[in-house]
């Protein structure tokens, strides 16, 4: 142990702010894995700012790697991607603020329509050209999409809208409620519903629509769900909800040590003193907290990596900081700690953090706050 008991080490270097680095090579590798699992077209879904990794960077990398389509939450996100020079088809399927038909038509944005109300809202508008739509059917999720008992109303009304030049039905989509099970039998009912919907659309006089049902899990595990296109979203950044494929983590979160001190045995750490040191030890502070996306409730196993060594996170996570116990190692301010990154045997991964927090890795990467600097390696 070096230093003087209780001594606070002043900052002697300029601190690099907490930084989330996106790794494009990982996205490229993950697209290659998806391509090896399917013969269908690949839509790269970049909603939630590319799962927290930067929608533009992820989208450009995915398209360069072979993705033929992009998917977003709403038209505004899609238009932002268009502004970066992307010309591939883009589909949006939530649009919580409604759809501006003219904006969608001008920017060549496809819109998913999952109810008669959504369709009527489009048909009431006047656009310079027909809005391309994908009929969104409920195939077992009961979350979004048109229920089967309303297909007989939605499909003919869409046909009328197409004849009037208001819309053009080009696609058909649904969701798999049990795809994460990686069990084709669990997916079979949704596949059957999707086939029924496709048959109904064709019998109504439409050309065969581009049909898509599978997201990341089913892309990797069940070819029967692939139809004409698969939607690969979480998989782009290294998350496989089915836990069947070795995907590549597409980000690394680092933070500088902002403060270090030696404390006595029996020192309570953090709010409420939920952790008490059992020996004299070095403690360091990282300027990241729950306001930055570090889960407040984590298990005592949580750690970060510094210079190839693991150091436990101790005490409660604060809004702006966490404390790590570095034992006999004095870690001076400015030293970089890796909070998560690609799997290498020492560095924690987003899957580790999800396990420590009792959640899924999606919430870890999408929860990283705006105070964290973003960059691309």
Residues 245-284: tens digit of each pLDDT = 999 999 999 999 999 999 999 999 999 999 999 999 999 9
CB atoms within 10 A of CB 303: 21
Q: Are residues 213 and 312 in the same domain?
A: no
User: Quick one: how far is CA 267 from the chain centroid?
Assistant: 39
275 located within any domain: yes
Q: Are residues 181 and 311 in the same domain?
A: no
Domain limit, last residue, from 177, 208, 237: 237
Q: Are residues 283 and 322 in the same domain?
A: yes
14 located within any domain: no
3-class secondary-structure state, position 219: helix
Domain limit, last residue, from 207, 237, 267: 237
Instruction: Record the pTM.
Output: 0.94
Tell me: the pLDDT tens digits for 205-235? Answer: 999 999 999 999 999 999 999 999 999 999 9
Q: Are residues 28 and 145 in the same domain?
A: yes
Which residues have a catalytic role annotated?
47, 271
188 located within any domain: yes
Domain span at residue 277?
A: 251-376
Q: Are residues 171 and 286 in the same domain?
A: no
Across 13-27, 93-107, 170-184, 308-322, least confident range: 13-27
Q: Are residues 91 and 200 in the same domain?
A: yes
Whole-angstrom Cα distance, residue 269 to residue 273? 5
H helices present in the chain, as ranges: 24-37, 47-51, 55-64, 75-82, 101-106, 116-123, 151-163, 184-203, 216-221, 350-357, 361-366
Residue 276, beta-bridge partner list = 268
3-class secondary-structure state, position 305: strand
Rg (CA), the chain: 25
4 located within any domain: no
| For range 138-144, the mean pLDDT | 94
Residue-level pLDDT at 12: 52
Name the residue among 361, 323, 322 with its Cα closest to residue 341: 361
Q: Residue 2: pLDDT above 50?
A: no
End-to-end CA, the chain = 36
Q: What backbone phi and psi angles, to 5 degrees, belong to 351?
A: -70, -35
Q: Are residues 256 and 233 in the same domain?
A: no
Q: Are residues 104 and 166 in the same domain?
A: yes
| For range 365-374, the mean pLDDT | 97
> Directed axis angle between helix 151-163 and helix 116-123, to 10°?
10
Domain limit, last residue, from 237, 272, 303: 237
CB atoms within 10 A of CB 8: 11
Higher pLDDT, 25 or 16: 25
Whole-angstrom Cα distance, residue 135 to residue 154? 9
Query: In the block, which residue shows the tokens 């004299």?
Result: 280
CATH code of the domain covering residue 332: 2.40.37.10
CA distances from 12 to 261, 281, 305, 361, 373 (A): 14, 22, 22, 36, 22
Residue-level pLDDT at 155: 98
Number of domains in the chain: 2
243 located within any domain: no
278 located within any domain: yes
Q: Are residues 49 and 81 in the same domain?
A: yes
CB atoms within 10 A of CB 136: 25
16 located within any domain: no
CB atoms within 10 A of CB 273: 11
Q: Residue 1: pLDDT above 50?
A: no
Q: Are residues 80 and 218 in the same domain?
A: yes
Q: Are residues 83 and 107 in the same domain?
A: yes
């Amino acid at each position: 142990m070096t230093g003087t008991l209780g001594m606070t080490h002043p900052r002697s270097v300029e601190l690099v702010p907490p930084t989330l680095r996106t790794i494009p090579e990982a996205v490229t590798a993950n697209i290659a894995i998806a391509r090896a699992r399917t013969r269908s077209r690949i839509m790269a879904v970049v909603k939630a700012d590319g799962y927290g990794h930067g929608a533009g960077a992820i989208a450009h990398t995915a398209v360069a790697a072979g993705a033929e389509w992009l998917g977003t939450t709403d038209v505004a996100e899609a238009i932002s991607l268009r502004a970066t020079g992307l010309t591939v088809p883009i589909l949006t399927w939530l649009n919580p603020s409604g759809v501006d038909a003219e904006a969608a038509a001008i920017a060549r944005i496809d819109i998913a329509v999952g109810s008669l109300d959504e369709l009527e809202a489009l048909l009431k508008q006047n656009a310079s050209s027909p809005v391309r739509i994908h009929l969104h059917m409920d195939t077992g999720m009961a979350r979004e999409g048109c229920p089967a008992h309303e297909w007989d109303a939605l499909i003919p009304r869409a046909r009328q809208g197409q004849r009037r030049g208001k819309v053009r039905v080009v696609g058909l989509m649904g969701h798999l409620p049990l795809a994460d099970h990686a069990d084709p039998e669990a997916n079979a009912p949704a596949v059957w519903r999707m086939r029924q919907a496709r048959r109904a659309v064709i019998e109504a006089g439409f050309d065969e629509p581009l049909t898509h049902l599978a997201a990341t899990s089913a892309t990797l595990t069940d070819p029967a769900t692939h139809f004409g296109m698969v939607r690969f979203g979480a998989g782009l950044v290294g998350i496989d909800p089915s836990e069947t494929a070795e995907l590549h983590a597409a980000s690394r979160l680092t933070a500088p040590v902002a403060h270090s001190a030696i404390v006595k045995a029996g020192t309570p750490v953090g709010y409420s003193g939920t952790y008490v040191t059992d020996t004299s030890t070095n403690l360091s502070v990282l300027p990241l907290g729950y306001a930055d996306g570090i889960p407040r409730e984590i298990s005592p196993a949580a750690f970060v990596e510094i210079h190839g060594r693991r150091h436990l996170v101790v005490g409660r996570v604060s809004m702006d900081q966490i404390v790590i116990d570095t034992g006999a190692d004095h870690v001076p301010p400015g030293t970089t700690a890796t909070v998560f990154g690609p799997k290498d045997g020492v560095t924690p991964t987003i899957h580790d953090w999800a396990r420590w927090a009792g959640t899924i890795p999606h919430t870890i990467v999408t929860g990283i706050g705006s105070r964290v600097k973003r960059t691309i390696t």
